[in-house]
Homo-oligomer: A and B are copies of this chain.
Amino acid sequence: MKGRLLTTLLISMATVISQGQDADILKYVNPFIGTDKMGHTYPGATVPFGMVQLSPDTDTIPYEVNGAYNRDVYKYCAGYQYADRTIVGFSHTHFSGTGHSDLGDILLMPATGPLQLNPGTADAPEKGYRSRFSHSNENASPGYYSVLLEDHDIFAELTATARTGVHRYTFNKGGDSHVILDMVHGIYNDAGKNVWTFIRVENDTLVTGYRQTSGWARTRSIHFAIAFSKPFTSYGFRDDSPARVYRGFWRRFDQRTNFPEAAGRNIRGYFDFHTEPGEQIIVRVAISPVSSAGAMANMIAEAPRADFETVRFSAEASWRKELGKVKVSMVNEGQMTSFYTSLYHTFLSPTVYTDDDGSYRGLDQNIHLAGGFTNYTTFSLWDTYRALHPLFTIIQQRRTADMINSMLAHYDQSVHHMLPVWSHHANENWCMTGYHSVPVIADAIIKKIEGFNYDRALNSCITTARNGWYDGLDDYMKLGYVPDDRTGSSVSVTLEYAYDDWCISQIAGTEDLKREFAERSRNYMNVWDPATGFMRPRKRNGSFREAFDVLSTHGQGFIEGNAWNYSLYVPHDPAELIRLHGGKKRFTEHLDSLFTMYLPDSFFADTEDITREGIIGNYVHGNEPSHHVPYLYNHAGAPRKTQYWVRHIMDQKYLPAPDGLSGNDDCGQMSAWYIFSALGFYPVAPGSDRYDLGSPLVKEAEIFLENGKTFTVTAVNQGPENIFVRKAELNGTRLDRLWITHDEIMQGGQLVFHMGR
């Protein structure tokens, strides 16, 4: 075995060397970016779009404190907060950048000394199994995480395949050692969240089971298989809040110790080992949406041996491959880190949700076999249709087809006849507004992405858009807008429906359909109030609501935004929006006001998740509805202002530090905005084939396309002061327009920006 290990290492090294400079890409990824405060990213180990996100959780957060919602739940959406000083353990599923929380399944924690089966508290970690740690003893890179658990003197390392997390624990001092398996732990913790857990100790190295929860996803289950590299000497389970069960003849058994089946709502378990000083134990944890047998098969397919290094090597190789799709040079290392960490964050979700054999749990809770595609979940579409999925149409085309096929499967299984709003581990959690699978699908069709059935996709879009029961759609179809009497976010919803409908009109096959949805796409006009110059809540009787505070983010007809930000949400028809505003000059002044106005302190006191540092004037980059806004200057004949503000945002809101993100990364949307903007262009209206030009941050970029071609971006005379584009050339020809098309990128070629002050 030693010989084999050496060979593997030599091959690994040879490959690294032969890959030359590309190997360095990984050093520009700092998984800690966004882990402090509001980014809601996690620092743990995962592979691109992997089902497993194996990451440390730094606290246990109850959903309620004293009967009221605990606002800390929001802080811990990804389980980790950089300011914390203790680690509870390592769990296998994490969302990246979401604003609601769930997952955190199957927490493992190595420990030494007397057994403790409760997590303890941040204040008194010694009273539980958790441990103090220090960032100076912590490392994270793509596919790898390590930390010294000080209380136990255990060095813990994590890596992963797509469906298997691999832990390597080095017991520095050895002695009485344990691995805790906490099935209660989750993001967030709540005695009522677990629905059921089931654990089998198959033999002295293998444990299987599942965890079922009802949280943000109402009916969720995750199955697992855990393989230890060393036999445990004993084990046990406790259910601190056991469900009432008909105990009957179970009473004959001591179920607490070495009893190989445990089932109940809130189970914590342990596995005992005696370790020598410096001894390592490797634990592989495979998961499956289907069954523990599926998890076991995933482990056998992906990590058949307890070989940490091979898995880590493979994880790093897969990151090099994906991150290598865009090769950039930038002015400084900090920008390199921001760029590649952003690219890393864009490749974290959606996540694979098929077993190795192609089976997965559907929205109907039945098991389906994915025919010819990989099924994905974690579609945070209200966020990600804007820039993440458009980015994928350039550098993840095959996955784009898989993702759309996943959406269509979701639609087929939906008892609501709806494309996903927020697809969440075989659940629809209905998060946010609109039907933004539609722009993803329309964008892919317009951009000629192959691998899914366009007719089937179009039909699912149309059916979705005609679902009268959904969030005011019946009123919208009748009145042309969602009335304020109906819902508190009537304006946001109306604007988003109008845009989504425009997307359908772009792919509609018949004139009737084109006309129907083109008409609907103009519905944004129905909430335009010329008197105030804002989109405004309108009542069922046609009149605008009297009370209207254009600054407030509460109760004004908007969601995650105020009238200032949301009123600019007509991405598909900026020309008409500008006309409504009274022309380009007045519109430009309006945008100037947005970016430069000074907000009263009361605004920040009232608004969750928005701080004065997080915004620019009244422009909120941390929430998505404004992401296209800086590019609207282009349409008002003021491209220098687009260039100014996008550079400003890149400089100010994406810092290469744990607290560097100005808002939740939102499953990669924030990062995708950065990638596009850094490359010098941005998809203002997905569903069109155009990308608006901005001001590139890169000095040079090569985008290696799946069709074998390369599209390069060069910023001549790039520099921190040279933020304005003097001219742009495409394949040597000066551009007389402020956009490029998708086809132009796909054909390969050169986009050259000449920069200046």
A248 at interface, CB cutoff 8 A: yes
Q: Are B364 and A200 in contact (CB under 8 A)?
A: yes
Asked if A246 and B102 sit within 8 Å, CB to CB, the answer is yes
**CB of A618 within 8 Å of the partner chain:** no
- Cβ < 8 Å to B, chain A residues 57-102: 63, 100, 102
Residues in A168-221 with C-beta less than 8 Å from chain B: 190, 192-193, 195-196, 198, 200-202, 208, 210, 212, 214-216, 218-219
Complex CA gap A494/B249 in Å reads 17
Q: In the complex, what's the smallest C-beta–C-beta distance from A698 to chain B, in angstroms?
A: 38
Instruction: Give bound CA distance, A243 to B429, whole Å.
Output: 16
CB distance from A426 to the nearest CB of B (A): 11
CB of A260 within 8 A of chain B? yes
CB-contact partner of A190 in B244, B261, B367, under 8 A: B244
Q: Binary interface profile of A, 404-444, with partner B (CB < 8 Å = 1, else 0)?
A: 00000000000110000100000001111000000000000
Within 8 Å of chain B (Cβ to Cβ): is A354? no
Q: Which residues of B contact A250 (CB under 8 A)?
A: 218, 430
In the complex, are the beta carbons of A196 and B212 less than 8 A apart?
Answer: yes
The residue among A201, A258, A260 with the most chain B CB atoms within 10 A of its own CB is: A260
Residue from A100, A190, A219 with most neighbouring chain B CB atoms (10 Å): A219
Q: For A291, give its contact among B190, B195, B367, B430 (CB under 8 Å).
A: B367
**A4 at interface, CB cutoff 8 A:** no
Contact of A263 among B193, B202, B218 (CB under 8 A): B218
Whether the pair B261, A200 counts as a contact (CB closer than 8 A) is no
Quote the shortest CB–CB distance from A237 to chain B (angstroms): 13
A365 near B: Cβ within 8 Å?
yes
Residues of the B chain whose Cβ atoms lie less than 8 Å from the Cβ of A218? 245, 250, 263
B261 touches A416 (CB 8 A): yes
Asked if residues A210 and B365 are in contact (CB atoms below 8 Å), the reply is yes
Specify the chain B residue showing the minimal Cβ separation from A64. B244
Question: A293 at the A/B interface (Cβ < 8 Å)?
Answer: yes
* Given A212-B196, A243-B214, A292-B365 contact (CB < 8 Å): yes
Within 8 A of B (CB), among A566-615: none
Footprint of B on A, CB under 8 Å? 63, 100, 102, 190, 192-193, 195-196, 198, 200-202, 208, 210, 212, 214-216, 218-219, 243-246, 248-250, 252-253, 258, 260-261, 263-264, 291-293, 364-367, 415-416, 421, 429-432, 469, 471, 487
Please list 15 pairs of residues, one from A and one from B, whose beta carbons are closer than 8 Å in the complex, sorted by A's number.
A63-B246, A195-B212, A196-B196, A196-B212, A196-B214, A201-B415, A216-B248, A249-B421, A249-B430, A249-B431, A249-B432, A258-B469, A292-B364, A292-B365, A293-B364
Top 4 A-B residue pairs of the complex, sorted by shortest distance between their CB atoms: A192-B244, A249-B430, A293-B366, A216-B246
Given contacts A252-B430, A293-B364, 16 further A-B pairs with CB under 8 A are A63-B244, A100-B246, A100-B248, A195-B196, A196-B214, A196-B219, A200-B415, A214-B245, A216-B248, A248-B431, A249-B421, A249-B431, A250-B430, A252-B471, A261-B416, A292-B366
